[in-house]
Amino acid sequence: MKLPIFAANWKMNHGPTDARAFMKSFLAHYPRQHDRKVLFFPNALSVTTVADAVRERPDLEVGVQNVHFEDKGAFTGENSAPMARDAGATHVLVGHSERRHVFGESDEAAGRKVQAALRAGLTPVLCVGELLAEREAGDTEAVVLRQLRAGIAGLDAQQVAGMLFAYEPVWAIGTGRTATPGDANTVHQAIRAALREAIGERAMGVPILYGGSVSRSNAPQLLAEEEVDGVLVGGASLDADGWNAIVRA
């Protein structure tokens, strides 16, 4: 059985001081749970703060929101996968819609970042999702599967089986507009089918998270869907009490 996964993407919020205060408050009210996993994706400057806070808690892990695909070199302003690992990260978001659409990251770059993450021993969380215009044109599945296939190109079955995936429709991110649980499940089924095509039955054990305006009120219905194995939460993960309510869903 897959444990449900609750992932907080803090985006460009909570520097080390806020992150420390958040973790202190969250940990005080959230004792260890054995039936779910909670992941935190703080900004890179707060990773060590969060990693230190969760050191005694195997049910809680920390990741970075992005890495460069090279391990080191003259790339001012970037962070690499080995550095993220050194700072205490176990996971990395790759191809988040803001990376793709605000920073112009290509499908191919996302694929290289997945490989860099795996080289460093980090678990990549490959994010895929369509724009509103693409959904309205009936291209949701084509876009999502194109991103997915580029993200796992060149990997072997064992590597893909160890990854996480997140479906985040771009029109649902930060807009208060969530995909219906049924719509989310339909896209998750398409992702599962593509993974099955790529790696066979092992695809059944790969977690697929949903993200996009997830809140404490809609999280339970989304998680009740057969193919929704967890949630990736932005805005509603920024407040320690609110996040506690979601992870107890």
CB of 92 to ligand 13P, least distance (A): 13
CB of 183 to ligand 13P, least distance (A): 15
Q: 96 vs 113, which CB is nearer to ligand 13P?
A: 96
214 binds ligand 13P (CB under 6 A): yes
Our answer to whether residue 168 is catalytic in this structure is yes
Stretch that binds ligand 13P, among 136-144, 152-160, 187-195, 208-216 (CB under 6 A): 208-216
Residue number, nearest CB to ligand 13P: 234
Q: 121 vs 174, which CB is nearer to ligand 13P?
A: 174
Gap between the Cα atoms of 17 and 136, Å rounded: 42
| CA 76 and chain centroid, separation | 25
Angstrom distances, CA of residue 42 to CA of 14, 49, 62: 7, 9, 8
Q: Residue 93's beta-bridge partner residues?
A: 125
> Which ranges in the chain belong to alpha helices (H)?
16-29, 47-53, 81-86, 97-101, 107-119, 132-136, 140-152, 157-161, 181-199, 219-223, 240-247
Stretch that binds ligand 13P, among 12-20, 102-110, 115-123, 168-176 (CB under 6 A): 168-176
Map the footprint of ligand 13P across residues 76-135, applying CB under 6 A.
Answer: 96
184 binds ligand 13P (CB under 6 A): no
Q: 111 vs 169, which CB is nearer to ligand 13P?
A: 169
Our answer to whether residue 227 is catalytic in this structure is no
Q: How many CB atoms lie under 10 A from the CB of residue 99?
A: 18
Gap between the Cα atoms of 97 and 83, Å rounded: 23
Residues that bind ligand 13P (CB under 6 A): 9, 96, 168, 173-174, 211-214, 232-236
Q: Which residues are catalytic?
A: 96, 168
